[in-house]
Amino acid sequence: MRPRPWPKRLLGLGAMACAAAGFAAEAGRLQIPLELWDRPRSGRNVMAQPAIRQALAALIAQPEAKLAIQHAPNPESLLQAEEIKAWLAAHALSPARVELRPSLPPRQPLALEIVP
């Protein structure tokens, strides 16, 4: 009997967890490009953003960590941060692990930071 291959989803999560080691070594923030907001969004193109993928990989590798979504103190930036939080919740990340922080200057792209 031939062993069943690993499901593609698990392989993807494994690759993301491996990438988390590189993210954890960086002391910087991951930025979500402003271009994301110029077109309609779907789960696929939101989750295809490198910053979001790296942040999720780090959260998988560090189950006790939280994600801080840093945004500018204006309503548009807050709505963008809330949308990212909702997309992450739709992809099985507990909203309790995500906090919104109005800590960026105006007209700056959203930034993601892993908080131990």
pTM over 0.95, yes/no = no
Q: Is residue 4 in some structural domain?
A: no
**Domain around 31:** 11-115
Q: Is residue 106 in some structural domain?
A: yes
Number of structural domains, the chain?
1
- Displacement of CA 41 from its chain's centroid (Å): 15
| Residue 23 tokens, joined | 């993210």
| Confidence band of 2 (pLDDT split at 50, 70, 90) | low
| Confidence band of 5 (pLDDT split at 50, 70, 90) | low
pLDDT for 21 beyond 60: no
Q: Is residue 2 in some structural domain?
A: no
**Average pLDDT along the chain:** 83
pLDDT of 97: 97
Cα–Cα distances in angstroms (integers) from residue 76 to residues 15, 70, 83, 102, 108, in the given order: 33, 13, 11, 12, 11
pLDDT of 23: 39
pLDDT, tens digit (0-9, with 9 covering 90-100), for 46-103 = 999 999 999 999 999 999 999 999 999 999 999 999 999 999 999 889 999 999 999 9
Q: Is residue 6 in some structural domain?
A: no
- What is the domain-level CATH number for residue 25? 3.30.1330
Helix (H) or strand (E) holding 61, with range, is helix 50-61
Q: Is residue 94 in some structural domain?
A: yes
Q: Is residue 80 in some structural domain?
A: yes
pLDDT of 20: 40
